[in-house]
Amino acid sequence: MRTIVYADGGCDPNPGPGGWGVVIQAPGGTVELCGGERATTNNRMELTAAISALEHFPEGASIEMRCDSQYVVKSVTEWMRGWKARGWRTATGPVKNVDLMQRLDALASARDVRWTWVRGHAGEAGNERADRLAAQGRREALTGVKSTASSAAASSSSSSATASASAATSATISAPSAPSPVQKTTPVALPSDLVGALTRAADRAGTTPQALLEEALRLALDLGPAGIARARQDFSSRKAS
């Protein structure tokens, strides 16, 4: 039985900041992956999505890879054999994105992959979710606020929360480590002004926004609601004096 995987990527503008997203419909539950780069292209993000999906699986795994990029699907199923025979060259010159193409070829060759093209933005749930994850990855690349792990175990509630937070910048906060190799995360929407303040504070502290956010959350959990209220009151008193 093949595991169904959706992979998607994109840039806005192209070239420019981009992101990629993956939805793996695994027997034990849905796994989501995303990431991004500040300066890239649409095709590189599409390829990176497929590569990241394949890297999740061991050699020999049976997968159905569903992509809305004909560039990715046709590269593997139609063009790649000829490129390799010509030393990774096309009829007009070197293969574009050859570094990613070679990585994709190596991963796909070691796995049993069925490549399926799906029409983008046509209502297929896995593809739509992968598209939203790609947008999340792009936002994370732009803001610098990202998960310490690149994967998440999805739930219907977290998917709905992420989809409804289109006006906010999304940060993914890692949960405590678990025996599973896939670390569970929870998407949390942050207002853009808070993300900006977090980024500036992290720069002043010489740390990353993610590390500063995690430390603040741990402190807040240790203090509890009553402790937070006392700390706010003490801070306000010192500020007024």
Residues 127 and 228 in one domain: no
**pLDDT for residue 197:** 76
Query: What rounded mean pLDDT belongs to the chain?
Result: 81
Total domain count for the chain? 2
pLDDT band per the 50, 70, 90 thresholds, residue 144 = confident
Known catalytic residue: 8? yes
Residues 231 and 129 in one domain: no
CATH number, domain with residue 37: 3.30.420.10
Residues 170 and 199 in one domain: no
Query: Which positions make up the binding site for Mg(2+)?
Result: 8, 46, 68, 131
Mean pLDDT to the nearest integer, 148-156: 40
What region does 49 belong to: left with phi over 0, alpha with psi -120 to 50, or beta? alpha
Query: Which positions make up the binding site?
Result: 8, 46, 68, 131
Residues 199 and 172 in one domain: no
**pLDDT for residue 218:** 76
Residues 123 and 48 in one domain: yes
The 10s digit of each residue's pLDDT in 29-77 is: 999 999 999 999 999 999 999 999 999 999 999 999 999 999 999 999 9
Residues 204 and 182 in one domain: no
Known catalytic residue: 234? no
Residues 179 and 218 in one domain: no
Known catalytic residue: 12? no
Where a domain ends, among 150, 167, 190?
190
**pLDDT for residue 207:** 67
Residues 183 and 208 in one domain: no
Q: Is the confidence at residue 94, as pLDDT, over 80?
A: yes
Choice among 46, 126, 128, 140 that is catalytic: 46
Q: Is the confidence at residue 199, as pLDDT, over 80?
A: no
Domain region containing 171: 3-190
Residues 23 and 140 in one domain: yes
Residues 234 and 177 in one domain: no
Residues 206 and 107 in one domain: no
Q: Is the confidence at residue 120, as pLDDT, over 80?
A: yes
Choice among 32, 128, 131, 140 that is catalytic: 131
Residues 203 and 232 in one domain: yes
Q: Is the confidence at residue 186, as pLDDT, over 90?
A: no
The sign of the CA dihedral 6, 35, 100, 41 is positive
